[in-house]
Amino acid sequence: MPVSTTVLSLASLNACPDPLLRGLPIRFTARFVPLGRVIRVESNSSAVIDAALESFGAYGEPPPSVLPDITLRICADPTFHDAEPWPVPLYRALEHLFHISCGSANFAVADLRTGTAIGFVSLEMVQDRSFFRNVFLECLFYVFAVHQSHTPVHCSCVSLNGHGILICGASGAGKTTLAYACAKTGMEVVSDDVIHLEWDRQTEQLKLWGNPWRMRLAPESGGLFPELSGRSPTLRNDHEWYLDLSISEEFGGQARSKCEPNVLVFLERSSSSAGLECTRLEPACVLDRLKRDIVLDEASVVERHYAVLNRLARVRAFAFRYSGHPSAAVSALRNLLDVSS
């Protein structure tokens, strides 16, 4: 008996109910190259592309012929509306899948094996540009970059003539505050919170990448720097408040997305009046501290991270303690860079 085949016309397909929003038109796309990775952002909303431009646009555009390493398709859900205050985001992973949820209808799922992610968020959340960028666009990109090629180190970073100082330390130690004080003296900002390392097999050198166009300071920083007093704080994705500063507006051209790692300092704030103390650290101690930033992943990914950190641990490193205003420590950091260069 012959088998009959039904061929559906486009009109028939368009007549089908679409409760999953499969047919949502993707009208807007853009390509960027943060951390040297080619990323393609797709959406039904131009507001998503505008947010991606703020997050990644300063890195430039990749050549048209280069295929993307990462694809993010994040849509504004026309069927759902919500409003601030936003829920605390929840992040989970199972094998090769990574998931973000923020309330009942704002979510994204990333496939780490294919480098693709999809998500739906309310238009109201997209319009809260800073929160949306941090929770969804930037988080998804960095999860992919770390899984594929890069190693994160939680630190602030500044540079002088391309020579970088990594300011490490526990949360609240004053890493970003010290980096801001360095920038006030003319040093270049590389990153306020995290840098990403990549091992270049051709040159056998570590590439250090940052996101140098914005800096987030604790609201109480206005008490240390008079020019920051009276500024309105912004809500972080972890539901803490911070001052969101544009480096170009604050310091002109003092931003550098790449530099050479030359000095590591592990910041330990001191409440004593002893002034400043600087103690050399051995590579084994440095490596032990750096490994604390690495979270569970596939064995091959963790092994790559440890190999990169082992190379970074060979850079001169110091335990750095100071009391008083952070500007007093800036000249000491410059001296360490001069000695190590």
Domain extent listing, the chain: 21-148, 151-213+251-340
pLDDT, position 241: 86
Model confidence over 90-147: pLDDT tens digits?
999 999 999 999 998 899 999 999 999 999 999 999 999 989 999 999 999 999 999 9
Determine the Cα–Cα distance for residues 332 and 319; give it in Å rounded to an integer. Answer: 12
DSSP per position, 146-186: HHHT-EEEEEEEEEETTEEEEEE-STTS-HHHHHHHHHHTT
Residue that wins the pLDDT comparison between 252 and 329: 329
Model confidence over 248-299: pLDDT tens digits?
888 876 778 999 999 999 998 666 656 788 999 999 999 999 999 899 899 9
Average pLDDT over residues 183-197: 93
* Vertex 258 angle, CA 257 and 262, to 5°: 130
State pTM to two decimals.
0.89
Residue that wins the pLDDT comparison between 219 and 306: 306
pLDDT, position 2: 53
β pairing state of 116-121 and 70-76: parallel
Burial pattern 30-39, b for ≥16 Cβ within 10 A else e, equals bbbbbbbbbb
pLDDT, position 271: 62
By percentage, how much of the chain surpasses pLDDT 70? 92
Domain 151-213+251-340, CATH number (from 1.10.10.10, 3.40.228.10, 3.30.2270.10, 3.90.228.20): 3.90.228.20
Residue 207, phi then psi, degrees to nearest 5: -95, 130
Query: Which of 162, 259, 167 lies closest to 208, judged by CA?
Result: 259
pLDDT, position 336: 87
In this prediction, residue 341 has a pLDDT band, given cuts at 50, 70 and 90, of very low
